[in-house]
């Protein structure tokens, strides 16, 4: 069940609210708790939601039954005080009582707790730190907590007030579409519920990026540039290989940017003749649509909007698609192990609204889905590279190694091939070490294994030539 459906369930009426909420799946933004639990046991969920993207906890539901609070109304006050008594610093939360009919058929209430995403790292009174990941409130290790503190920084940029921006500066049509999609009673109410307005009523940066008429006036780099190149190399100066008419700048509110950019990319992606699922031959994109679309959505949702002077680029080549966005991976995460990167939304408010609009499901599975799509069609795994201020994703149209051969090679050998393919030429050992994020001896082990099976070759004047390079053997 989506966040929209949770909101709809909460206004469904006393007879239905309990059954609707019991049928809902617990997820990134929703959790159920028993009214019979101790107030202190609510703290992990409060901390987890505040450390992630916020969310809603409904107390009074357990094991398929609507418990309510009629049997112990004094506990309502205990739960209301839980953020102050059992979390540090106190989690910001709003409390509301929603009428329901309990399991005995009597009029009762549920306690609804709405938690804001926080700019701070919170912990329980016992010193434990939690993060909401999918349907779990996951306790973090010391290292993971350090990463979270690094990621949080001073504050979340999408939650800061947008300078001199008010409701009339937002796109009314887009807002009304969102209000209708969420079955909300008012635009102001849904903006407040999604933390797109501050408690003083100011529109946040996230709100303006999502719904602004012209967000580019405050955020001039908040656009997507789509380019198609005629060759596998971009070239420079007079030799720049950008195709005439295939250099597009797409700007506006985030939902429009994603929609328009995806339409333009789909037009520009090269296609090859291949066997289709129905047994006929027809045009097939060199990279599966779901893979590059997920990469685009991730870039737009998770880019660092506080970084001035850079924008998202989607570069389309005859043999690959590359997507580069401002901002690095969270904390201490390594691009050499993208599937191990834990979920963290740099822009939690933007992420949640995009999930409401089905732009991004935001279940922490974006990277996993990209890998799955590339593997589904038999292509080499995606490649992530990180610079001082950006992350670049490469989706290359090259078949992966035969599984029988891959089983004979050291783990990570496929990535060495992918790095060389993405480079489009030869690379020195040091370059491969940096891209692979492994030690030099470990990298050499993989290079020699690939050399032994005839997939790569070393080009140098001698075995100790410091200028020697590695390149793919034709057909690798």
DSSP 260-322: HHHHHHHHHS-EEEEE-TTSSEEEEESS-HHHHHHHHHHHHHHS-TT-TT--EEEEE-SSEEE
Reported confidence tier of residue 226, pLDDT bands at 50, 70, 90 = very high
Domain count, the chain: 4
- Verify cis geometry, omega within 30 degrees of 0, for the bond prior to 89: yes
Residues 88 and 85: their CA atoms lie apart, in Å, by 9
Edge-to-edge strand list for the sheet holding 383-386: 242-251, 223-229, 312-316, 320-326, 390-396, 383-386
Residues 311 and 324: their CA atoms lie apart, in Å, by 8
The pLDDT value given to residue 58: 97
Residues 472 and 458: their CA atoms lie apart, in Å, by 9
∠ CA 426-428-429, rounded to 5°: 130
**Tens digits of residue pLDDT in 271-296:** 988 766 667 778 889 999 999 999 99
Residue 150's nearest CA partner among 301, 344, 308 is 344
Residue 106 and residue 28 share a domain: yes
- pLDDT surpasses 60 at 417: yes
The pLDDT value given to residue 463: 84
Q: Which of 40-44, 58-62, 230-234, 442-446 is the least confident region?
A: 230-234
- pLDDT surpasses 80 at 424: no
Which position has the higher pLDDT, 399 or 267? 267
The pLDDT value given to residue 398: 80
Residue 192 and residue 98 share a domain: no
Residue 198 and residue 142 share a domain: no
The pLDDT value given to residue 3: 66
Give the contacts of 257 (CB within 8 A, at least 6 positions apart): 223, 224, 250, 251, 300
The pLDDT value given to residue 225: 97
41 domain residue, yes or no: yes
Q: What is the mean pLDDT of the chain?
A: 88
User: Hey, is 11 helix, strand or coil?
Assistant: coil
Structure tokens at 151: 């990621």
| Domain limit, last residue, from 119, 147, 175 | 147
Structure tokens at 37: 């639990």
159 domain residue, yes or no: no
| Domain limit, last residue, from 97, 116, 147 | 147
Residues 234 and 333: their CA atoms lie apart, in Å, by 29
Residue 336 and residue 382 share a domain: yes
The pLDDT value given to residue 167: 93
227 domain residue, yes or no: no
205 domain residue, yes or no: yes
Q: Which of 105-114, 162-171, 357-366, 435-444 is the least confident region?
A: 357-366
The half-sphere exposure of 123 on its side-chain side, counting CA atoms within 13 A, is 12
Residue 365 and residue 267 share a domain: yes
Question: 394 pairs with which residues across the strands?
Answer: 322, 383
Reported confidence tier of residue 362, pLDDT bands at 50, 70, 90 = very low
Question: 313 pairs with which residues across the strands?
Answer: 225, 324
Give the contacts of 306 (CB within 8 A, at least 6 positions apart): 157
The pLDDT value given to residue 464: 83
Structure tokens at 219: 């955020």
The pLDDT value given to residue 196: 94
Structure tokens at 321: 């698609």
- pLDDT surpasses 50 at 364: no
Residues 266 and 263: their CA atoms lie apart, in Å, by 5
Structure tokens at 304: 């660092």
Q: What is the CATH number of the domain that holds 371?
A: 3.30.565.60
106 domain residue, yes or no: yes
Residue range of the domain that includes 85:
3-147
Q: What is the CATH number of the domain that holds 420?
A: 1.10.10.10
435 domain residue, yes or no: yes
The pLDDT value given to residue 404: 82
Dmax (CA) of the chain = 87
Residue range 296-325: average pLDDT? 92
Q: Which of 109-118, 255-264, 402-411 is the least confident region?
A: 402-411
Residue 367 and residue 272 share a domain: yes
Q: What is the CATH number of the domain that holds 13?
A: 3.30.950.30
User: 107-116, 320-329, 334-343, 461-470: which has the highest mean pLDDT?
Assistant: 107-116
**Tens digits of residue pLDDT in 35-78:** 999 999 999 999 999 998 889 999 999 999 999 999 888 899 99
The pLDDT value given to residue 449: 92
Structure tokens at 4: 């929209």
User: Hey, is 415 helix, strand or coil?
Assistant: helix
Main-chain dihedrals φ then ψ at residue 319, nearest 5 degrees: -120, 5
Give the contacts of 300 (CB within 8 A, at least 6 positions apart): 224, 254, 257, 258, 261, 312, 325
- pLDDT surpasses 50 at 260: yes
Residue 389 and residue 411 share a domain: no
Residue 124 and residue 175 share a domain: no
CB 156 within 8 A of CB 348: yes
Residue 380 and residue 280 share a domain: yes
User: Hey, is 412 helix, strand or coil?
Assistant: coil
Residues 112 and 100: their CA atoms lie apart, in Å, by 12
Which position has the higher pLDDT, 453 or 149? 453
- pLDDT surpasses 70 at 336: no
Residue range 255-272: average pLDDT? 95
Residue 411 and residue 386 share a domain: no
- pLDDT surpasses 60 at 154: no
252 domain residue, yes or no: no
Which position has the higher pLDDT, 154 or 213? 213
The pLDDT value given to residue 335: 64
- pLDDT surpasses 50 at 378: yes
Residue 187 and residue 99 share a domain: no
Residue range 211-227: average pLDDT? 95
Residue 132's nearest CA partner among 194, 24, 55 is 55
224 domain residue, yes or no: no
Residue 36's nearest CA partner among 66, 72, 64 is 72
Match 């005439």 to its residue by tokens. 244
- pLDDT surpasses 90 at 148: no
- pLDDT surpasses 70 at 461: yes
Residue 405 and residue 393 share a domain: no
| Domain limit, last residue, from 368, 399, 430 | 399
Residues 454 and 474: their CA atoms lie apart, in Å, by 10
- pLDDT surpasses 60 at 21: yes
- Strand blocks (E) in 357-444: 383-386, 390-396, 427-428
């Amino acid at each position: 069940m989506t966040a929209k459906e949770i909101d709809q369930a909460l206004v469904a009426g006393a007879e239905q609210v309990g059954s609707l909420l019991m049928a809902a799946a617990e997820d990134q933004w929703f959790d159920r708790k028993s009214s019979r639990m101790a107030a202190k046991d609510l703290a992990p969920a409060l901390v987890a939601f505040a450390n992630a993207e916020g969310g809603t906890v409904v107390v009074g539901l357990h094991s398929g039954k609507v418990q309510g609070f009629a049997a112990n109304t004094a506990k309502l006050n205990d739960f209301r005080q839980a953020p102050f008594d059992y979390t540090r610093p106190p989690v910001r939360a709003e409390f509301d009582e929603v009428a329901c009919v309990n399991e005995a058929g009597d009029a009762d209430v549920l306690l609804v707790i709405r938690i804001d995403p926080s700019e701070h790292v919170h912990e329980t009174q016992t010193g434990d730190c939690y993060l909401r990941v999918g349907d779990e409130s996951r306790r973090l290790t010391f290292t993971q907590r350090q990463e979270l503190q690094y990621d949080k920084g001073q504050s979340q940029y999408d939650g800061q007030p947008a300078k001199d921006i008010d409701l009339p500066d937002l796109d009314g049509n887009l807002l009304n579409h969102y209000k209708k999609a969420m079955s909300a009673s008012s635009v102001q109410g849904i903006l407040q519920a999604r933390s797109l307005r501050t408690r003083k009523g100011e529109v946040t940066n996230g709100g303006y990026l999502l719904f602004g008429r012209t967000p580019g006036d405050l955020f001039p780099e908040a656009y997507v540039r789509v380019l198609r190149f005629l060759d596998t190399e971009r070239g420079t100066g007079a030799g720049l290989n950008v195709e005439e008419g295939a250099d597009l700048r797409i700007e506006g509110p985030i939902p429009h940017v994603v929609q328009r950019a995806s339409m333009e990319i789909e037009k520009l992606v090269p296609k090859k003749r291949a066997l289709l699922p129905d047994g006929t031959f027809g045009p097939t994109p060199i990279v599966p649509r779901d893979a590059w679309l997920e990469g685009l959505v991730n870039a737009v949702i998770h880019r660092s909007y506080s970084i001035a002077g850079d924008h998202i680029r989607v570069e389309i080549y005859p043999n690959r698609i590359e997507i580069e966005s401002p901002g690095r991976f969270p904390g201490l995460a390594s691009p050499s192990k993208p599937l191990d990167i834990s979920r963290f939304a740099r822009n939690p408010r933007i992420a949640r609204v995009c999930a409401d609009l089905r732009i991004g499901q935001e279940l922490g599975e974006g990277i996993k889905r990209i890998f799955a799509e590339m593997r589904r069609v038999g292509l080499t795994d995606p490649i992530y590279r990180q610079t001082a201020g950006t992350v670049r994703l490469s989706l290359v149209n090259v078949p992966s190694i035969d599984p029988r051969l891959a089983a004979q090679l050291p783990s990570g050998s496929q990535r060495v091939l992918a790095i060389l393919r993405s480079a489009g030429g030869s690379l020195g050992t040091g370059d491969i070490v940096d891209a692979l994020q492994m030690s030099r001896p470990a990298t050499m082990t993989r290079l020699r294994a690939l050399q032994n099976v005839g997939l790569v070759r070393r080009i140098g004047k001698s075995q100790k030539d410091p200028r020697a390079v590695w390149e793919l053997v034709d057909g690798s």
